[in-house]
Structure 1
Amino acid sequence: MSDDGYDHTAVERRWQDRWDEADAYRTPDDAEDPTYVLGMYPYPSGQLHMGHVRNYTITDAYARFRRMCGDDVLHPMGWDAFGLPAENAAKERDSNPRDWTFDCIDTMRGQMESMGFGYDWDREVTTCVPEYYRWNQWLFSRFHDAGLVERDESEVNWCPSCETVLADEQVEGEAELCWRCDTPVEQRELDQWFLKITEYADELLDDIDRLEGWPDSVRQMQRNWIGRQEGTRLPFRVDAPDGERTVEAFTTRADTAFGATFFALAPDHEISRAVAERDEGVRRFVEEEADPDGDEPNGVATDLTATNPVTGEDLPVFVADFVLSDVGTGALMGVPGHDERDHAFAEKLGIDIVPVVAPSAEDVPDVSESAYTEDGVVVDSGDYSGLTSEDAREAITADTEGAEATTQYRLRDWGISRQRYWGTPIPVVHCDDCGPVLVPEEDLPVELPEFINTTGNPLDAAEEWKATTCPDCGGDATRETDTMDTFVDSSWYFLRYVSPDLADAPFDTGRANDWMPVDHYVGGDEHAVMHLLYARFFTKVLADEEGLEHREPFENLLAQGMVRLDGSKMSKSKGNVVSPQEIVESYGADTARLFIMQAAQPERAFDWTDEGVRSTRAFLDRLYEDVTGEIPGGAGERDAAAAYVADETDAVVDIARREYDDLTFNTAVREAQELARTVRGYVEFADAPHRATVERALRAVVKLLAPVAPHIAEELWDELDGEGMVVDAAWPEPEGDTSDADARRRLVENTREDVRDIVEVAGIEDPTRIDVVVTPAWKHRALEIAIESDAPNVISEIMGVDEIREQGDAAASYGQDLQAEREALTRALAPEHEHEALERAAWLLEREFDAEVRVLTADEADDDTVRKAEPGRPAIDIAE
């Protein structure tokens, strides 16, 4: 014990050693009651931050809880160890990415262990070792055999000075300069490898509705990213510089074709480029001014026209930066009367705005200020006038030559090629005679060569490594020097955890079918449309190709909120970072864990405060003193106050189990803390506390806090002579019936609040007696009738009962109150149970006000006082 409380350093080190010795977190391969709990694995940057601590405390607390409930729990940890930062760090330090990465992993693993996270480290996965990335290569081959891999040209950022491809985040500023040498970046077309995720677009979209355990916001982000749209391709004839050409434009609103007043092309459309060669204004816009990410649509007129295939009219052609070449066809018909973006563009460039859809034929909208975007009735549209929008879309599509109903997606195939060293080598060799050839399975893994610190791609410089022979013809060949996007690693890593040492397959299918899907997955929603979508894609492919029984990887997803300091997200660049290690050293891991979990619901952001940390530590110090100090009193029967503590113990145990199951840890923790305060208050109040009741309550508090504050929980469990370690203990169970616990607690708290209000309003400084008068039985009967009745007016039903009607005006008045508050009525305890609950809680009032407290039945009090009593709200009479 330290001067300020318990010695957290000694306690935490002791129990971490004990857990290791006992192999407390080993997960069985064959689980009888499996629960899979997983936090998104981190990139090994070298230091844990508070976002990591929050994420992994959430999963650790839930895993410990489920283990105490008797489940076999898989709660693993690994490292998203490939990636550009390690390569950049190695170049800056003239080192190599592997050494830097493993130094970071060692540091972060040590920090995780100091936080007490209960991982089965025997299942640790590290994606940068050949034992893991060989299976990336194996899966690439399986995807290839399934027709889900293709090679195609794609535009990339190229630095001519560094002679390498740059990621978007390495292109800096409006001038688009290389982050390392400030050279202007060029766009180049390079051959790239793609995984054909679009083959699964419909299933990925349709199955989002089944992800009921995911946040709605994440599901909507995935819907938007996939972006399925039903519409029509309309063929426009454009008088391009090299002659008339047909350019298709996709639209979901073919019913608005008569309202088209312009035609627009993407800046990088081949016709736009051709016009730019002869038109300086178009060239300047295409090369210098176009900003697809800008707040407002912008564009430039050309001297071209496009013929509307529906109306036969010629439309002016513009090059516009809100038209994207990788969305739709890179061309669109502009209908400013019925599209807000087109409307803004038309206003800016002085293009006509014409309404052709209206709520009704007699109510044509004014579209001068804003577009009318709803479906309705088609007007001023020739033979189609008078049709509904839906009918007009079908008719125009059917009647227009060359038009075709089609489905379009925003989703594009996944380009996995990276011109980087620190990633999985793509298992392909290039042969002049055979073309690209897969590396045979028996030759996997294709391992990375030694790192070469060069300006370009280090794999291009590895001449000895690149030179190989063709698996098909035996001739000279060259290895593929692209490595895989690191999202490939994270698209299946959760499957590797079920059998991390398996040598002949990426995962044991039988075990995966037992453990999957992950029951609870926790991480940031910034991964909503990349990692989470790719993981869903991989899982579906593996279900089709490898016998995986589950087509979705994660049953429940929790996107944890950020940890803020002074209202801002913690960030090194802002200088507002709190070091987890410093908190562990100063206050203990349990303090950090408990503060994080009690501060807010896991999905909400919260502010880290020094005051909150100190308050949390003070609570742990008091709990330590309560358990390790001498508990006065003895055996014998429970009195009313002890019975109240027993009731509260049952209620808290029951509530905490529900809250832990729902991952609302803050509520569960607050309940446990309040129970600890109740026990302390009871011990201070009672002349002879009931020892068994106090010890049971303290054991319950320790168990309820064990998932969140495991070290001190082990210490106190040992102090209370608990059997074994608390990590292996069973979750506590109520001894009594808790079905009325919520009503009982409401009754007690309302009564205490009413007494406080009366004392304050009446200015009573020193009450000597407090009478609490329970409601007469007839009011309970009236309330029951009002709750159960379907009649529009319940007064007649209430007054139809003899025992109620006999109360005369009092009954009529109460019936009117019930009618007026009918929507808000809730059930209350029966009269005898109200009396018992209040008698058991009377000590709380006695302790707070230092006054005699009497709990009276309606027969024991005067009529004026009884008249004020209602079910769940006893009458209060206070004497000075």
Structure 2
Amino acid sequence: MSDAGYDHAAVEQRWQAAWDDADAYRTSDDVDDPTYVLGMYPYPSGKLHMGHVRNYTITDAYARYRRMCGDDVLHPMGWDAFGLPAENAAKDRDTNPRDWTFDCIDTMRDQMRAMGFGYDWDREIATCTPEYYQWNQWLFSRFHEEDLVERRDAEVNWCPECETVLADEQVEGEAELCWRCDTPVEQRELEQWFLKITEYADELLEDIDDLEGWPNSVRQMQRNWIGRQYGSEVEFEIGGHGSVTAFTTRLDTIHGATFFALAPDHPISEQAAEEDEEVRHFIEHEADPEGDEPNGVATDLTATNPVTGEEIPVYVADFVLSDVGTGALMAVPGHDERDHAFAEKMGEEIVPVIAPEPEEGEEGEEPEIPDVSEGAFTEDGVLVNSGEYDGLDSETARERLTEDIESAEHTTQYQLRDWGISRQRYWGTPIPVVHCHDGCGSVVVPDENLPVELPEFINTTGNPLDAAEEWKQTTCPDCGGDATRETDTMDTFVDSSWYFLRYVSPDLEEAPFDLARANDWMPVDQYVGGIEHAVMHLLYSRFFTKVLADHEDLEHREPFTNLLAQGMVQLEGEKMSKSKGNTVSPQRIVEEYGADTARLFMMQAAQPERDFDWSEEGVRSTNAFLTRLKEMVEEFAAERPDGEDDAIARYVANEIDATVAIAGGEYDDLTFNRALRETQDLVRTLRQYAAYTEPHTETYERGLSAVVRLLAPVAPHLAEELYAELGTDEDEDEGAFVVDAPWPTATVDREYVTKRRQLVENTREDVRDIIDVAGIKDPQAIDVVVAPDWKYDALEIAIESDAPDVYKRQDYGQDLQAEREALSMTLGPDEEHEVLESAAWLLEREFEAPVSVVHADEVDESVLKNAEPGRPAIEIDD
């Protein structure tokens, strides 16, 4: 034992070697009770950071717990190994992305092993290997066969420094900078490959309601991203340009449309810019769709309201987006906050055409027209200032107007757009297409010619695949003529949209996954990862799973049953980051304190979904706790005390049961911090027990064994050490390792435990209050008096009876009746006596006075008046 604690390095190295020798974490392909636990696999950046450690400690702890509960657990690890960062790093270091990536993987794998994560490393995958990405290409072919792939021109975010397309999420801030290099992003028109995720928009949206094991915030983010809106399309005539279609969810407000707005890139806006310098300047220099305030510029155009025939002015406005709705909208400032703000800014008229519905009992009353001068009235109501439609409710008016306006029709709009997967970079899956020179067009590479492997890396500007001339030149699979390979690679989100299926059969050569095994293991029972993946990765994974269910006989349509989005590890309230210089090295913590200390501190600091602050003091305290526990087990094993099985032992036994009952439930809910707090409280109770009297051997040993097992999912190395020190019970089906040991069981449930603990704590608190209020310096004796049986009967009657007036007399029953809504059942009188008698030693230890627990029939009636169920009377002699 060192001054800094136990020799964690020796303990951890010993058990890691033992696990490896025994293949302790290998998962069989044929299982009876499958449980799939998965953390989002990492990008191999070269070093683990504290976010990694937290994420993977959560999944590791849960996987170990489920395994101890008897489940067959699949808990794999792999690498999200493609992507631009590796390509940029290789260019900077004049190496190639493959070597750089695998060096990083080797480093991170070693760090994960040092943390003691219980992965089945035989199932390890890396998405940058041909053995993996050939199945990306195979899936592309299947999607193409099902008409879920399309190639078309599209405006894209282009980083001139990285020379690649960026997803919207990779364009950051008001300045619209590249997420990797902070270069201003440009807009370009390029031919792109798309996966038609919009074909599944309705199912993706509607099935969110069934994802009951997902955080509500994530579910709502997905709903918002899909953005389905029911409404109507209606045409407005714009002088000199013909009819323009606008989408609106509030056709009932059309009489209040006082101006018309077009997106900056709408064709009419672009035409106006050619003739109007102010419009051109706004589009090129001022339009800011991400801005806090709506902005725009007037044109000399007018639009005709199809209902009123009124000519209203046309604006080019940056709050109108070409890829949302139709890129044109009727603006109703009286009933839309954004339109209201813009109208005020531009001096346009604001007309109320919807009023609140009259209150009940006011039928026939004229609706009170709202004052919209200061803000819009955005709710449904009844129509006013709307001619023949006055008095109709909003829903009825929408239906009538859609029928009456010749150009209007019901429609559904989505914010979700098809998934552009083209990336102009080297380090990704080559899109398996060739472009024939002789008229065949774009031809998908046949399955027998897969994988299309990446050529050697060429360190050049732009896309290295464009420079790989020999690789690019090929023949057309259809006609045999000359052809050129597609040089775009796939978005790396493709890799992660199905990787969880590859883990079930990572070495399979005939298919991306073994269907029978996938149907057995899927869906993933518990998935853990960062909130930053709440939309794209999870949405794409759901999309892939549904397509595979439709066309490849996968039995499950959702990939993840339960999802936990873990919080961040912070330092002094700020997210750890290299740029801020506030990172903490996991390697240093492991070397100085041990992996178990790091894992335990992180898991007890907060609930997994909450952010928490890293604390060196907290780490030291956690290490000290583990050191004390090791000493307790070693002292017990060396001396094996021989105390009596008395009331104190029964109290400790009850606390062991209580801890096991509560901690198991918390592990089920992934609230590890609460489970660990219970476990540490039990350690404290055991220490107090051993300090107060010579412990009863079986009780004390059972307590230590329970602690070791309850800690095993989080601090597995020391748990193995202490499990071996304690030995196994031949009457139990014990495993060679603690990870194979059965989870401890309790003979009580949480409700009973809560009542028992509340009784003890209330009693201790009452004694403290009496001593404090009475100013007793040296109590000589303490009597704890349990209430008489009839009070328990009265309590039960008050709770269970439906009668409005159970008790007529002005006595205890009448008092109960006054508090009837707040009543709850307590333990029975005999149970209370037993619990309090077993806990009397705690009072004796605290107040250094003898304690007696007394039945009601042993004391005077005057004492009993203060005794109630769950709140015994207290008599103190001073």
TM-score between both structures, scaled by the size of structure 2:
0.96
Distance of 1:677 and 1:381 partners within structure 2: 75
Q: CA deviation at 1:342?
A: 0.6
Q: Is the 8 A contact 2:455 2:471 kept in 1?
A: yes
Pick from 669, 694, 698 the counterpart of residue 704 of structure 2. 698
- Structure 1 residues 837 and 182: alpha-carbon distance in aligned structure 2, compared to 1, 3 A threshold: closer
Q: Is the 8 A contact 1:633 1:689 kept in 2?
A: no
The match for 2:765 is: 753
Give 1:238-637 correspondences, 5 Å limit.
238-239=238-239, 243-360=240-357, 361-432=366-437, 433-630=439-636, 634-635=641-642
Letter in 2 for 1:215: P
Q: Is the 8 A contact 1:5 1:624 kept in 2?
A: no
Letter in 1 for 2:559: P
The 3-state SS of whatever aligns with 1:277 is helix
Q: CA deviation at 1:762?
A: 2.8
Letter in 2 for 1:743: K
The match for 2:360 is: none
Q: Which piece of structure 1 moves more, 526-535 or 746-755?
A: 746-755
Can you list the C-alpha shifts for 1:11-56, whole angstroms capped at 9, x where unaligned? Answer: 0010000010110101111110000000111111111111111111
The 3-state SS of whatever aligns with 2:241 is strand
Q: Which piece of structure 1 moves more, 748-757 or 417-426?
A: 748-757
Q: Is the 8 A contact 2:87 2:426 kept in 1?
A: yes
Q: CA deviation at 1:172?
A: 8.2
Q: Which piece of structure 1 moves more, 735-744 or 525-534?
A: 735-744
The match for 1:804 is: none
Letter in 2 for 1:192: Q
Q: Is the 8 A contact 1:767 1:878 kept in 2?
A: yes
Distance of 1:779 and 1:501 partners within structure 2: 69
The 3-state SS of whatever aligns with 2:865 is helix
Q: CA deviation at 1:249?
A: 0.3
Q: CA deviation at 1:638?
A: 1.2
Q: Is the 8 A contact 2:593 2:623 kept in 1?
A: yes
The 3-state SS of whatever aligns with 2:242 is strand
- Structure 1 residues 116 and 601: alpha-carbon distance in aligned structure 2, compared to 1, 3 A threshold: same
- Structure 1 residues 109 and 396: alpha-carbon distance in aligned structure 2, compared to 1, 3 A threshold: same
TM-score between both structures, scaled by the size of structure 1:
0.95
RMSD (Å), alpha carbons? 1.9
The match for 1:49 is: 49
Can you list the C-alpha shifts for 1:290-327, whole angstroms capped at 9, x where unaligned? Answer: 00000111111000011111222111000000000000
Q: CA deviation at 1:125?
A: 1.2
- Structure 1 residues 605 and 851: alpha-carbon distance in aligned structure 2, compared to 1, 3 A threshold: same
Letter in 2 for 1:579: S
Distance of 1:173 and 1:772 partners within structure 2: 66
- Structure 1 residues 270 and 755: alpha-carbon distance in aligned structure 2, compared to 1, 3 A threshold: same
Can you list the C-alpha shifts for 1:522-577, whole angstroms capped at 9, x where unaligned? Answer: 11121111000000000000000100000000000111111111111112122211
The 3-state SS of whatever aligns with 1:333 is strand
Q: Which piece of structure 1 moves more, 533-542 or 555-564?
A: 555-564
The 3-state SS of whatever aligns with 1:151 is strand
Q: Which piece of structure 1 moves more, 306-315 or 55-64?
A: 306-315
Distance of 1:481 and 1:738 partners within structure 2: 61
Structure 1 unaligned residues grouped into runs of 5+: 800-811
Distance of 2:181 and 2:23 partners within structure 1: 51
The match for 2:816 is: 818
- Structure 1 residues 527 and 168: alpha-carbon distance in aligned structure 2, compared to 1, 3 A threshold: closer
The match for 2:781 is: 769
Q: CA deviation at 1:350?
A: 0.7
Give 1:633-782 correspondences, 5 Å limit.
634-635=641-642, 638-686=645-693, 688-722=694-728, 723=734, 724-735=736-747, 740-782=752-794
Letter in 1 for 2:819: E
The match for 1:134 is: 134
Q: Is the 8 A contact 2:174 2:290 kept in 1?
A: no
Distance of 1:85 and 1:843 partners within structure 2: 63
Q: CA deviation at 1:670?
A: 1.1
Letter in 1 for 2:647: A
The match for 1:21 is: 21
Q: Is the 8 A contact 1:178 1:185 kept in 2?
A: yes
Distance of 2:853 and 2:37 partners within structure 1: 49
Can you list the C-alpha shifts for 1:372-421, whole angstroms capped at 9, x where unaligned? Answer: 11111111111111111111000100111121100110100000001111
Q: CA deviation at 1:2?
A: 2.3
Letter in 2 for 1:415: G
Distance of 2:792 and 2:129 partners within structure 1: 70
Q: Which piece of structure 1 moves more, 835-844 or 559-568?
A: 559-568
The match for 2:361 is: none
- Structure 1 residues 556 and 821: alpha-carbon distance in aligned structure 2, compared to 1, 3 A threshold: same
Structure 2 unaligned residues grouped into runs of 5+: 358-365, 729-733
Letter in 2 for 1:588: G
The match for 1:840 is: 838
Letter in 2 for 1:282: V
Q: CA deviation at 1:637?
A: 5.4
Q: Which piece of structure 1 moves more, 162-171 or 61-70?
A: 162-171
- Structure 1 residues 550 and 418: alpha-carbon distance in aligned structure 2, compared to 1, 3 A threshold: same
Report the number of matched residues.
862
Q: Which piece of structure 1 moves more, 773-782 or 198-207?
A: 773-782
Letter in 2 for 1:617: N
Distance of 2:183 and 2:534 partners within structure 1: 34
Q: CA deviation at 1:769?
A: 1.5
- Structure 1 residues 542 and 162: alpha-carbon distance in aligned structure 2, compared to 1, 3 A threshold: closer
Letter in 2 for 1:285: F
Can you list the C-alpha shifts for 1:435-464, whole angstroms capped at 9, x where unaligned? Answer: 100001001011111111111111111111
Q: Is the 8 A contact 2:151 2:191 kept in 1?
A: yes
Q: Is the 8 A contact 1:650 1:738 kept in 2?
A: no
The 3-state SS of whatever aligns with 1:73 is strand
Q: CA deviation at 1:272?
A: 0.5
Distance of 1:779 and 1:401 partners within structure 2: 78
- Structure 1 residues 161 and 573: alpha-carbon distance in aligned structure 2, compared to 1, 3 A threshold: closer
Can you list the C-alpha shifts for 1:843-879, whole angstroms capped at 9, x where unaligned? Answer: 1111122211111112223333321111111111222
The match for 1:827 is: 825
The 3-state SS of whatever aligns with 1:154 is strand
Q: CA deviation at 1:768?
A: 2.3
